Each structure stands twice: as C-alpha cells, then as structure tokens.
Structure 1
C-alpha cells in the first residue's frame, strides 16, 4: 500500500463517496444513536479517571463532611449519618486524586 497521495481520479471518487455519506440522514441518525448509547460503566469510569479536583473544593467538602459527622454524632439524626456516608468516600477519593497530582505522579496508571 502506497503512503503517497492518491491519484486525482481516485481522490475524486473518494470525495464523492464522502459527500454522499455526509448527506445520508439515516446513517447520521444511526451514528448519533450509537454515541448516545455509550453512557455505560466504561464512560463513567473514563470521566472519573479524568477527575482533576482543586484544593479549595476538597477543603470545602472535607469541612462539610466533618460538620455532617459532628451533627450525626451529636443528634443521631439518620439524615446526617447517611449524608456523611455518601459524602465521605467522595472526599477521600478527591483527596487522593489531589495528593497524587501534587506529588507529581498525575495518577498515571502505567505502574510507575
């Protein structure tokens, strides 16, 4: 297979094929539908892997978690305990991501 430019008549044929594919509404709808269906666990995992928290955000979430913990301990209110149970793992995850970025690792999954 040649790595050079296509001959002029082949480039013309390729351009015609691309134009006809761009005009095909049914194909466009089908391709858009496939992109919308990719919102499963793999897409969620990719978004989580790109998470890049700021120090201020982690500090505010930590303060909120501590306030919820104290409220839950003092009042024994189920809403405070359950809210703390939801917020705390998020705080720990974001804290580790932030510390990893600050340490210069950047969260590289290549095992270094």
Structure 2
C-alpha cells in the first residue's frame, strides 16, 4: 500500500477566532500535526445537482491515508485545486495501518 500513497493532500479544521470586535469568525486552519499526509485517491464518480438557483457539479472520492485518530467528519481536505468536504471517516480497527475517508467536492455554476 505504501507505494500507492502518491498524492499529497492537506487537512484543515474549522476553528473560531476572535474578530477584534467582541465576536468570533470561523476560519479554516491546517491540522497541528501532520497537516499534509500522503494519500491514495480514488475518484468515484459524480454528477450535477440543482441547488440555490444554479447547478452544482459534485465529485466523490475516497482518500486512503495512514491511520490517525484526530479526523472528524467536520474537517476538510484540499486536493487538486478543490475543497473536499469529508462525508465519513473510516475508523481504523486495532493495529490498522490505514483508514479510508469519503469526501465530496462541488462547485456552483450558473
């Protein structure tokens, strides 16, 4: 499997930061530990969906990475000039070396 982890991805998490006016904003920041792991990427098809008065082109993919315990479905992946929203995080079983993340990317077009 190690030779198939041939794509560098970036992992990000949304955090609240002070906005200077007493409120907070939501920002995406890189993971504090190993924010750019190697992955095997498998594109799994896509399609178009009507949304918000336009059409959204969606692409689904599976990202296989070395097992880690700090991923959440609310995190996201940056890969191939797209933002990939994590749909599910496969939890590695005892002694598992890898885990699979399902993610979706989409862009709104008029």
TM-score if structure 2 supplies the norm length?
A: 0.19
Name the structure where strand makes up a greater proportion of residues: 2
Name the structure where helix makes up a greater proportion of residues: 1
Higher RCO (Cα < 8 Å, 6 or more apart)? 2
Which structure has the bigger radius of gyration? 1
TM-score if structure 1 supplies the norm length?
A: 0.19
